[in-house]
Structure 1
Amino acid sequence: MASEDVKTSESAVSTIVTLAEEAKLAREGVKAPSYAVLSICKSLVAGGVAGGVSRTVVAPLERMKILLQVQNPHNIKYNGTIQGLKYIWRTEGLRGLFKGNGTNCARIVPNSAVKFFSYEQASKGILYFYREKTGNEDAQLTPLLRLGAGACAGIIAMSATYPMDMVRGRITVQTEKSPYQYRGMFHALSTVLREEGPRALYKGWLPSVIGVIPYVGLNFAVYESLKDWLIKARPFGLVEDSELSVTTRLACGAAAGTVGQTVAYPLDVIRRRMQMVGWKDASSVLTGDGRSKASLEYTGMVDAFRKTVRHEGFGALYKGLIPNSVKVVPSIAMAFVTYEVVKDILGVEIRISD
């Protein structure tokens, strides 16, 4: 018995020494990560690359969506997706179609990292309490619990990277004729901080928080629930084993993205409009003159909803939905394809919901 206690003590001491040595190596900059840490890092890299590639492919549609969301109804320059893209090409050229994409891609990497990690930790925590409450050690997450885990992940990730999203919206909206130009993400951040204060970086945060709950939550919940149903039910012979084909996963992801963005879209419109409040050149950017600045003044989320619906009708809450919907399928398709390529290169198994 004493011998076993000695062995146990020696094992504990050895573990502590090993952890201390790893911590020392980490502080000194020597790479000695565990397999789990290395796997997480590889997954985050793959997610960041996939997000950047997929967003770049659909960047023109993303910019068109934002311009349709925030343009003034009394001086309309963009009458639709095709006309708007042609107008941007004619007035701003190829670079105009991708304006704001660099800032968007810079935001995607940390956003994806925080979102995926937060979802994983939230899922583990929720599953632990769910099993404790039900007394069933084999219980799995229900669609509602997945919705909750996805909502937590979305709120954390959105809050952590919101200032970058805010300035990305402004950079995307400005044109070559704007009286004042943001030269890039860091210039925009410093300018907003200097001229409008730190609180301005979080304008539109509340509707974003509310909107991210159904958007990210439904994305995770619908995707994983569809995937589980396909594996268990095996309808139409789509699934031959426990693995889904890339095409089937694309379909699941497209369905999840479509449901999530349709439900949350009005809040996205309000968020974009609130982000323009306080920008002294916003009216010139959106209308080409200074007559309509008052229409950009909102005292809060509810006021923005009320004024938008009263002056432009309920349909204004879905401005830009068509280009946003059109970009969902190719964006998710590219994300999956890039995931697979990076997974093979890095030698790590990746799941969209991991």
Structure 2
Amino acid sequence: MAATEQLPLEQEFDYETLPSNYGLGRNMLAGAFAGIAEHSVMYPVDLLKTRMQIINPSSGGLYTGLTNAVSTIYRIEGWRTLWKGVSSVIVGAGPAHAVYFGTYEVVKDMAGGNVDDGHHPLAAAMSGASATIASDALMNPFDVIKQRMQVHGSVHKSLMQCAKTLYRTEGLQAFYVSYPTTLCMTVPFTATQFVAYESISKVMNPSQQYDPFTHCMAGGLAGAFAAGLTTPLDVVKTLLQTRGLAESEEIRSARGLFNAAAIIKRQFGWSGFLRGMRPRIISTMPSTAICWTSYEMAKAYFKQQSEK
């Protein structure tokens, strides 16, 4: 090939056949960039979701809906409250998403997801499940700290102060009491999301060229579908991660997935498992769109650099 001859666009941005010198490290850097972008932009909506999922909140934390929650928080606590605890996800999301997308690419390749241009839903599901198991082990403590800082009336002012207080009063187990529940939620969530993303991408962009619009739409739709499906487990996770702040003795002594689910069912009925579904979908749809778009953009950049 002559030095001046350019690669066809389809070959230049074919993500299923990355060059040998692309490297796992660059996938992880792309993933870290995607994670920080996703969580930072959508953090206020995530805070609203947490507030609306709290069981038996204090009087100042009672909201009739999403709009009421926004106006009440803004009026009483100020707009900065919507970003309270964001430092926790910024610190944790970079490394966790680096592990997330690094694992995704490795397992997807090992499972045969890059063999040809065909549809590989099983490989996508396996890579998604493996990615979330690895990344959640790293992210779960930061998620606990984040939610402790998000709830109404939280006295925690910083990431380190919250972590120290939580460790001193509840021990190391407080950072991982929700991990089994988190995996019960995130494994099906991520497997569903990855299958949906890969499937929608194949339909919308069969040539697999770099296309920000396709990545954005496929990521958003996949995230919304997976979020709605796993909301009940997210409610259980929130109860376990914020149990130390509850006024109810029953909630403070919640021991795990099934015990927490029984408390929700007893106090609110089946509708209790749908608490916060609307803000969860509203936050997840754009956040996954941002995540996948950022990841593919960073991936495209690193691939271009490796081919120079």
Scaled to the shorter chain, the TM-score interval is 0.7 to 0.9
Identity among equivalent pairs (%) = 25
Residue by residue over 1:257-303, the C-alpha shift from the partner in whole angstroms, topping out at 9 and shown as x without a partner, is 012111211111101101123x2xx13xxxxxx5x343443132111
Matching of residue 190 in structure 1 with residue 164 in structure 2: yes
Count, aligned residues: 285
Residue by residue over 1:5-64, the C-alpha shift from the partner in whole angstroms, topping out at 9 and shown as x without a partner, is xxxxxxxxxxxxxxxxxxxxxxxxxxxxx9444xx4344333323322232222111100
Structure 1 CA distance for aligned equivalents of residues 116 and 44 of structure 2: 46
Structure 2 CA distance for aligned equivalents of residues 202 and 332 of structure 1: 25
Match of 2:129 among 136, 144, 151: 151
Matched to 2:36, the amino acid is G
1:14 maps to none
Structure 1 CA distance for aligned equivalents of residues 130 and 302 of structure 2: 29
- Alpha-carbon spacing, 1:305–1:60, altered in 2? closer, same or farther (3 Å): same
| C-alpha RMSD of the superposition | 2.8
Shift of 1:68: 0.7
Secondary structure, counterpart of 2:77 in structure 1? helix
Q: What stretches of structure 1 of length at least 5 have no aligned partner?
A: 1-33, 132-136, 233-240, 284-289
The answer (yes or no) to whether the contact 2:96–2:136 under 8 Å persists in 1 is: yes
- Alpha-carbon spacing, 1:261–1:245, altered in 2? closer, same or farther (3 Å): same
- Alpha-carbon spacing, 1:139–1:250, altered in 2? closer, same or farther (3 Å): closer
| TM-score, normalised by the number of residues in structure 1 | 0.72
The answer (yes or no) to whether the contact 1:246–1:336 under 8 Å persists in 2 is: no
The answer (yes or no) to whether the contact 1:127–1:140 under 8 Å persists in 2 is: no
Residue by residue over 1:74-104, the C-alpha shift from the partner in whole angstroms, topping out at 9 and shown as x without a partner, is 9561111110011111121121011111211
The answer (yes or no) to whether the contact 1:69–1:320 under 8 Å persists in 2 is: yes
- Alpha-carbon spacing, 1:249–1:139, altered in 2? closer, same or farther (3 Å): closer
Match of 2:67 among 73, 82, 85: 82
1:225 maps to 199
2:34 maps to 50
Structure 2 CA distance for aligned equivalents of residues 327 and 102 of structure 1: 18
- Alpha-carbon spacing, 1:202–1:185, altered in 2? closer, same or farther (3 Å): same
Secondary structure, counterpart of 1:183 in structure 2? coil
Shift of 1:201: 1.1
Structure 1 CA distance for aligned equivalents of residues 106 and 210 of structure 2: 24
Shift of 1:182: 2.1
Structure 2 CA distance for aligned equivalents of residues 126 and 139 of structure 1: 14
1:269 maps to 235
Which residues in structure 2 correspond to 1:1-354 (within 5 Å)? 35-37=21-23, 40-72=24-56, 77-127=62-112, 142-175=120-153, 178=154, 181-232=155-206, 241-243=207-209, 245-277=211-243, 279=244, 282-283=245-246, 290=247, 292-336=248-292, 338-339=294-295, 342=298, 347-348=302-303
2:3 maps to none
Structure 2 CA distance for aligned equivalents of residues 121 and 340 of structure 1: 16
Structure showing greater radius of gyration is: 1
The answer (yes or no) to whether the contact 1:147–1:221 under 8 Å persists in 2 is: yes
| TM-score, normalised by the number of residues in structure 2 | 0.82
- Alpha-carbon spacing, 1:127–1:316, altered in 2? closer, same or farther (3 Å): same
Structure 1 CA distance for aligned equivalents of residues 128 and 295 of structure 2: 20
Secondary structure, counterpart of 1:348 in structure 2? helix
Secondary structure, counterpart of 1:78 in structure 2? coil
The answer (yes or no) to whether the contact 2:220–2:285 under 8 Å persists in 1 is: yes
